[in-house]
């Protein structure tokens, strides 16, 4: 998932855009522009000043305080938003959870979107510290605010990059004229790493190729892991902040089913 305070069309030019978070209010309001340009993608609308709009709330310095997260989410749920998104720095984990509890909300009533800029695609968990329990539903891992955390093709752009869990958009209202199916869970990693040369063949190769084609990548589901497939793999790994080695290991396999647009 990508977001920016600038013009989304210009900033995301040349990138594969599966999901966008955009501002519905405040001085960087760009939600309408993002919705028009990326009608094929999931587009979150972020409320930064507590007007009670959209399906995501920004709870960080300069926007809404963490203590208001629970009441904001409760209001959006009452307005018909299913599992509104709470965005905040991972260092505010305890404060956010306290606010949700005070509002009578359970963890599963919302989707948690953390910011933790370590330059690696991940979903915040106990390994991140800060009192995190369980795991975030999405994590913003790269940003121009944290020099060195953005790698090609994101480097040099005013863009924040997030990893989203497989169920992140399953509970959101889908854009466009009809509903989008919930992304399916990844089939079990086959146990062998897919690579070339020599060219590897098999149903595991075909399964990964089919899923990548389903995501919109230009790839032939031939069942053979050839040079063209490796090229797609490397581009996909770059986009997702994974190790770029052209090998479909467990992480690259799982990422192919993470927040896929179906």
From residue 124, how far is each of 139, 163, 164, 214 by CA, in Å?
6, 10, 11, 27
pLDDT over 60 (residue 223)? yes
Question: Which residue, chain included where needed, has tokens 């005070």?
Answer: 102
Instruction: Return d(Cα 128, Cα 14) in angstroms, integer.
Output: 32
Residue pair 141/117 in contact (Cβ under 8 Å)? The answer is yes
* Token reading at 208: 């990964």
From residue 145, how far is each of 2, 116, 152, 157, 238 by CA, in Å?
14, 11, 16, 11, 20
Q: Is 128 helix (H, G, I), strand (E, B) or coil?
A: helix
Instruction: Return d(Cα 88, Cα 59) in angstroms, integer.
Output: 5
Residue pair 157/8 in contact (Cβ under 8 Å)? The answer is no
Better pLDDT: 258 or 70: 70
Pairing status of strand 138-142 against strand 160-164 = antiparallel
pLDDT at residue 18, as a whole number: 84
Helix-, strand-, coil-residue percentages of the chain, each rounded to 5: 30, 15, 55
Question: Predicted confidence band at 211 (pLDDT cuts at 50, 70, 90)?
Answer: confident
pLDDT over 60 (residue 176)? no
Residue pair 166/136 in contact (Cβ under 8 Å)? The answer is no
DSSP code of residue 194: B
Instruction: Return d(Cα 239, Cα 216) in angstroms, integer.
Output: 13
Question: Predicted confidence band at 185 (pLDDT cuts at 50, 70, 90)?
Answer: low
The predicted-structure confidence for 25-42, as pLDDT tens digits, reads as follows 999 999 999 999 998 888
pLDDT over 70 (residue 260)? no
By percentage, how much of the chain surpasses pLDDT 90?
63
pLDDT over 90 (residue 209)? no
Instruction: Return d(Cα 124, Cα 41) in angstroms, integer.
Output: 24
């Amino acid at each position: 998932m990508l977001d920016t305070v600038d013009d989304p069309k210009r900033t995301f030019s040349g990138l594969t855009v599966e999901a966008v978070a955009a501002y519905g209010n405040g001085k960087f309001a760009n939600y309408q522009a993002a919705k028009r340009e990326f009608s094929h993608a999931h587009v979150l609308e972020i409320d930064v000043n507590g007007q009670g709009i959209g399906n995501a709330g920004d709870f960080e310095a300069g926007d809404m305080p963490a203590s208001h997260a629970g009441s904001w989410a409760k209001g959006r749920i009452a307005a018909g938003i299913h599992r509104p998104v709470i965005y905040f720095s991972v260092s505010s984990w305890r404060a956010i959870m306290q606010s949700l509890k005070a509002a009578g909300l359970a963890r599963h009533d919302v989707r948690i979107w953390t910011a933790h800029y370590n330059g690696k695609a991940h979903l915040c968990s106990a390994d991140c510290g800060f009192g995190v329990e369980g795991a975030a539903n999405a994590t913003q891992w790269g940003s121009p605010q944290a020099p060195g955390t953005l790698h090609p093709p994101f480097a040099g752009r005013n863009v924040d990059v997030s990893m989203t869990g497989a169920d992140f958009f399953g509970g959101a209202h889908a854009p466009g004229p009809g509903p989008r199916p919930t992304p399916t869970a990844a089939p079990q990693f086959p146990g062998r790493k897919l690579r070339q040369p020599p060219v590897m063949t098999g149903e595991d190769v075909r399964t990964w190729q089919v899923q990548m084609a389903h995501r919109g990548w230009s790839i032939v589901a031939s069942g053979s892991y050839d040079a063209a497939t490796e090229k797609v793999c490397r581009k996909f790994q770059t986009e997702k902040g994974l190790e770029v080695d052209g090998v479909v290991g467990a992480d690259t396999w799982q990422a192919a089913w993470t927040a896929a647009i179906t």
